[in-house]
Chains A and B, each alone.
Chain A
Amino acid sequence: DIQLTQSPSSLSASVGDRVTITCRASQSIIFYLNWYQQRPGKAPNLLISAASSLQSGVPSRFSGSGSGTNFTLTISSLQPEDFATYYCQQNYNSLTWTFGQGTKVEIK
């Protein structure tokens, strides 16, 4: 099974900071990597699909990049509403879907 490892597990940042979260796959998943944001007590929300495709309605300060085994989610200028937990997710082959363990973005 393909495993996803996110880093860091948590980070502290200030409003306006540039934030980068990494997701590494245990084998190549080409570009089949997606990112979700989850605010406390809420359901996850899809931010980016296929490594870099920003979903409709998601602010342009969010961006995704990468291919193969290494992927990144970048928030160019952190806003108060961005303090949340972020998950990567893959479905490269077979009928299984996998999430990373999550990265919690906290206020410094």
Chain B
Amino acid sequence: QVQLVESGGGVVQPGRSLRLSCAASGFTFSKYGMHWVRQAPGKGLEWVAFIRYDGSNKSYGDSVKGRFTISRDTSKNTLYLQMNSLRAEDTAVYYCAKGNAPAPLTGRYFDYWGQGTLVTVSS
């Protein structure tokens, strides 16, 4: 069965960096686009970033563009999110999510989600 397990969350000071990881199993990781979605405490869902199945294309939400970088390591079946210049408003649970469609399609929705990892940006 598909499993997505996030790690790397924690408390970090404003302006600092953090890298999240998402270990994937139960499907052919190299064939699917992957996403990060976040949820601030008591708020709704916000799409953060996408990476194409082969890493050839990436996109970001406006609120993180230029600060966050999504990447993947197919040899390790792992998705990453490098978060730089963190702000208090980046405090959220970060979910890793699998795109629904196999290569070469992009996929229009998220069919599996991890349990999330909490990032708290505070001095």
Contacts and interface: CB of A to CB of B under 8 A. Distances in A.
A97 B47 contact: yes
A95, A97, A102: which has the most chain B beta carbons within 10 Å? A97
Interface string A6-47: 000000000000000000000000001010101000111110
Nearest to B6: A43
Given A34-B109, A49-B109, A43 B116 contact: yes
Given A87-B44, A95-B50, A102-B44, A44 B113 contact: yes
A36 B97 CA distance: 13
Contact of B106 (A45, A95, A102): A95
Given A49-B100, A91-B109, A101 B95 contact: no
A83 interface: no
A43 B114 contact: yes
A62 interface: no
B89 interface: no
Interface residues of B, number: 22
Contacts of A98: 47
Contacts of A97: 35, 47, 50, 109-110
Nearest to A98: B47
Nearest to B93: A43
Contact of B108 (A34, A38, A44): A34
B109 A46 contact: yes
Interface size class of A (residues with CB under 8 A): 20 to 34
Interface of A is mostly: loop
Contacts of A71: none
A99 B95 contact: no
Contacts of B44: 87, 99-102
Contacts of B108: 32, 34, 49-50, 91
B38 to A, nearest CB: 11
Interface string A69-108: 0000000000000000001010100111111111000000
Given A46-B110, A50-B108, A97-B35, 7 more contacts: A32-B108, A42-B115, A46-B109, A46-B111, A49-B108, A94-B59, A102-B44
